[in-house]
Amino acid sequence: MIRGKGIYKGFSNNEVLCDLNINVKKGSIYGLVGENGCGKSTLLKILNGIYDCDKGNVTCCDKGIFESPETKEKIFFMNESVYNFYGFSVKAMAKFFSTQYKTFSWERFKELESVFKFPSSKKMNNLSKGQKKQAMFWIAFSLKPDVMILDEPLDGLDPMIRKRIKEMIINETADREMTTIISSHNLLELEDLCDHIGIIYRGKIIIEKDLDDLKVDMQKIQYVSELEDTSVFDDDRFEVVKHEKRGKVKIEIVRGYKEEIVDVLENSRITFYDIMPLTLEEIFIAELEGKEYEYEKIMVR
- What is d(CA 214, CA 39) in angstroms, rounded to the nearest whole number? 22
CA–CA separation, 229 and 250 (whole Å): 9
Minimum distance, C-beta of residue 121 to ligand ATP, in the bound complex (Å): 33
Nearest Cα neighbor of 40 from 215, 192, 197, 191 is: 197
What's the rounded Cα separation, in Å, for the pair 81 and 297?
Answer: 40
Q: Closest CB to ligand ATP among 122 and 202? A: 202
Binding status of residue 119 toward ligand ATP by CB under 6 A: no
Residue 66: half-sphere exposure toward Cβ, Cα within 13 Å: 14
Nearest CA to 139 out of 70, 181, 82 is that of 82
**Is residue 11 part of the contact set for ligand ATP (CB under 6 A)?**
yes
Assign 259 to helix, strand or coil. Answer: helix
Tell me which of 4, 34, 198, 256 binds ligand ATP, using CB under 6 A.
34
Instruction: Please provide the distance, in angstroms rounded to a whole number, between the alpha carbons at the two ends of the chain.
Output: 42
| Closest separation in Å from C-beta 47 to ligand ATP | 12
What is the smallest separation between the CB atom of 33 and ligand ATP, expressed in angstroms?
Answer: 9
Among 37, 102, 174, 192, binds ligand ATP (CB under 6 A): 37
Angle value at C-alpha 109, between 32 and 152, nearest 5 degrees = 20
Please name the helix (run of DSSP H) or strand (run of DSSP E) that holds residue 180, with its range, or none: strand 179-183
Kindly tell me which of 190 and 232 has the beta carbon lying closer to ligand ATP: 190
- Residues recorded for the chain: 301
For ligand ATP, the binding residues in 150-179 under the rule CB under 6 A are none
Residue 210 pairs in a beta bridge with 196
Amino acid (1-letter code) at residue 166: K
Residue 78 interacting with ligand ATP (CB under 6 A): no
Stretch of 38-46, 73-81, 83-91, 248-256 lying at the interface with ligand ATP (CB under 6 A)? 38-46
* C-beta closer to ligand ATP: residue 51 or 138: 51
| Binding-site member from 1, 7, 38, 94 for ligand ATP (CB under 6 A) | 38
Out of 4, 31, 39, 153, the only residue in the binding site for ligand ATP (CB under 6 A) is: 39
Residues that bind ligand ATP (CB under 6 A): 11, 14, 16, 34, 36-42
